[in-house]
Amino acid sequence: MLRVALLVSLALQTAAQAPLTSKYTNYTEHNYKDVAYGLFKPTNYDPTKSYPLIVYLHGSNDLASRDMLWYQQEMQKQHPAFVITPKCKETNQGWGNTWTDKHTEATSKTLALVDSLVAHYKIDANRLYVYGISMGAFGVFSILQKEQGKFAAAFAICGGSDTKAASKLLITPLWIFHGAEDDIVPVRLSRNVYEEMIKLGATNVKYTEYPGLKHNSWDSALSEKSLPDWLFSHRKK
């Protein structure tokens, strides 16, 4: 029952919370090259051990600091990890997409931040994970396209990709989620690239489409019981 409760909590991560710096002594907020970000260090961080790192890319204009399941005691006991939550104010460019050849400024700085943290802390470079919602999910596809092999696994919720990028998305294990009735981002932008990846022989991509759901499919995606274990099971070879 505890695990079920934790997974429900993950689905509710977008709820407003008290200041996280007060709730978690190992959560701090910083700026890196003008990009604001939250940094959560593993509970009982031990510099003699190595930890995975999760990067969360938020949706459009969602600049609030959110509580997340990854921060909670039971999850940290099962999967201790660093988490960073960069903030993107680029309303015109966002986190990027697979229709363009270059990273946006916010994404370039975020990737540089990841490298900086890997160099500074005991972070396992073979266990870097990235996920995003809506605008952030477009960014996930973009990063996987342009930084093939950098991340050990990723998931994208109600985003999408150009099908022409499918061949460059085959390396990283990826789980795609979308609501079938999404009225903001058409479901075809996820469905079509998934189908193209399968045609190209992908064996490490998963796709979950929720009948009847609109854009807020993150509630259902983040309630998937197997999601945390799936994510953390991957490491770069």
**Cβ-based neighbours of 94, under 8 Å, separated by 6 or more:** 60, 88, 104, 106, 135, 138, 139
Interval 20-32: pLDDT, tens = 998 999 999 999 9
Q: Give bridge partners of residue 30 from the DSSP assignment.
A: 37
Distance separating alpha carbons of residues 143 and 98, to the nearest angstrom:
8
pLDDT for position 16: 44
Q: Of all residues in the chain, what percent carry a pLDDT higher than 70?
A: 91
224's tokens: 């998937």
Output the pLDDT for position 93. Answer: 83
Write the DSSP symbol of residue 115: H
Report pLDDT for 3: 52
Residues above pLDDT 90, as percent of the chain? 81
Q: Which residue has the tokens 């979950």?
A: 208
Closest to 155 in 3D by CA, of 217, 201, 65: 217
Q: Which of 81, 109, 107 is nearest to 234 (CA)?
A: 81
Q: Exposed/middle/buried for 215, CB within 10 Å: 0-12, 13-18, 19+?
A: middle
pTM of the model: 0.90
Residue 63 has a pLDDT of: 86
Find the length of the chain.
237
Structure confidence at residue 8 (pLDDT): 44
Mean of per-residue pLDDT scores for the chain: 91
- Could you tell me which CATH number the domain at 2-6+21-232 has? 3.40.50.1820
| 107-155 pLDDT, tens digit each | 999 999 999 999 999 999 999 999 999 999 999 999 999 999 999 999 9
Q: Is the pLDDT of residue 15 over 50?
A: no
Whole-number pLDDT of residue 211: 97
Can you list the alpha helix ranges (DSSP code H) found in the chain? 2-11, 20-23, 73-78, 105-120, 135-146, 188-199, 218-221, 227-232
Q: How far apart are CA 92 and CA 154, in angstroms?
A: 24
Give the C-alpha separation, 227 to 27, whole Å. 23
Tell me what pLDDT residue 101 has: 93
- pLDDT bracket for residue 215 (50, 70, 90): very high
In this prediction, residue 132 carries a pLDDT of 98
pLDDT over 50 at 172, yes or no: yes
Report, as an integer, the average pLDDT of 80-86: 97
Coil/strand/helix, residue 168: helix
Report the chain's terminal Cα–Cα distance, integer Å: 34
